[in-house]
Amino acid sequence: MTISFPKDIIKGIFSIPKEKDSPYAKAKLQRIIIQGEEVIQISKYTQQQVFHENISLDKLDDYLNNMLDNHFRSLELHTKEYLYAYKISSKGKLLTNKKQQKHEFVVLEHNKVKKYLIEEGMIVPPLMDLGIMTADGKIVKAKFDKFKQINRFLEMIEDSIANETKLKIIDFGCGKSYLTFVLYYYLTSIKKIDCQIIGLDLKTEVIQHCNKIAEKYRYDKLKFMQGDIAQFRKEKNVDMIVTLHACDTATDYALYYAIQMECRYIFSVPCCQHEINFQLKNKNIAPISKYGILKERFAAILTDSIRANILEYFGYKTQVLEFVDWESTPKNVLIRAKLESKKPSSVLKEEVEAWMKQLGFEQTLYSLCFKTKES
């Protein structure tokens, strides 16, 4: 039988899979507008993942008929005015129903539906174990800022890695590893990149916990290790390092590692840049240093600008970006760097040195890169 479905569908859901071992537990429909064109976005849910596809309105009848013929016994469709129900009985008989809609439904602009690469409702299984996501894919309210940061971090990475098919990544100072898990899930399950990730942190317990979760989901190429970034072994062929709020000089050790290992990509969101703040006593900055908060911010800006300049010196094309809004976290600066040329430019080093001398401070990344070698 071929059903002619209403043309003004706004949303809907397929449920009750026909086969016990069906790959999909349910599928949702949502009318959205992409670049001015109305399409129906289908989100097919397996136990662990969600797959999206957009169906043009002229192909929708065929698509829905095929889904009812082959995959699901039940379909509910909402239009602005009506709720339509289609059920296929165990004997293969079609039962239909049509009811007046209780609420008015609206069509969403695409950017309102999909703000993030990982949307709310999209099940990322380890995030449930980590207490950031509920079983139905909702983000725990208290964790929403973290969720937002992780999504923005992913977007920043996604922007840079077109054409990559294989990546080896280290997340330094991974902590509870929300980012590490989402990154692994996104790159392997959604982008289909052959991806290996190591998460490193000082804390033994979190590392053990994260390894258990990785094993539970058979994330074979995701490993967590306990250790100090400063002493971390020299891994071969690391393509990317990421850090999200690695404390104070931990960020410097991570950047130094990337420079030494000639990692092609760096994504680093620094945190609590105390090092220079504690040293700044110079009377040249008296108008700033008498206000604690300004001194702290000035020190953070100095720290990150030195880091960015040193990366440039080592041939990284470097950007310093605001990656989330200030309200989500004031630690919202991302250093994004891509290795382009291996020829250091001495001017940048001299500029950094002049600045350090003038204001009278030492900086860990600078010392790691130049002091030990020169002394």
Ligand X SMILES: C[S@@+](CC[C@H](N)C(=O)[O-])C[C@H]1O[C@@H](n2cnc3c(N)ncnc32)[C@H](O)[C@@H]1O
For ligand X, the binding residues (CB under 6 A) are: 173-176, 178-179, 200-203, 228-230, 244-247, 250, 271
- Under DSSP, the state recorded for 116 is S
CA gap 152, 52 in Å, rounded: 20
Q: Please state the closest distance from residue 101 (CB atom) to ligand X, in A.
A: 43
Which one, 225 or 348, has the nearer CB to ligand X? 225
Q: Please state the closest distance from residue 108 (CB atom) to ligand X, in A.
A: 30
CB closest to ligand X, residue no: 175
Q: Please state the closest distance from residue 334 (CB atom) to ligand X, in A.
A: 12
Which one, 50 or 254, has the nearer CB to ligand X? 254
Which one, 55 or 247, has the nearer CB to ligand X? 247
- Tell me which residue of 125, 126, 106, 137 sits closest to 43, measured CA to CA: 137
Which one, 32 or 200, has the nearer CB to ligand X? 200
Length of the chain: 375
CA gap 263, 44 in Å, rounded: 36
* Torsions phi, psi for 220 (to 5 deg): -65, -30
Could you tell me where the DSSP H helices lie in 81-231?
A: 110-113, 125-129, 144-160, 178-185, 204-216
Which one, 77 or 127, has the nearer CB to ligand X? 127
Query: DSSP for 250-272?
Result: HHHHHHHHHHHTT-SEEEEEEE-
Q: Please state the closest distance from residue 162 (CB atom) to ligand X, in A.
A: 25
CA gap 211, 208 in Å, rounded: 5
Extract the tokens encoding 328: 């989500």
Q: Please state the closest distance from residue 321 (CB atom) to ligand X, in A.
A: 17
- Residue 114 CA to its chain's centroid (Å): 14
Which one, 140 or 230, has the nearer CB to ligand X? 230
Which one, 50 or 200, has the nearer CB to ligand X? 200
CB 107 within 8 A of CB 166: no
Extract the tokens encoding 339: 């290795």
Coil vs helix vs strand at 373: helix
Q: List residues bridging with 167 in a β-sheet.
A: 195
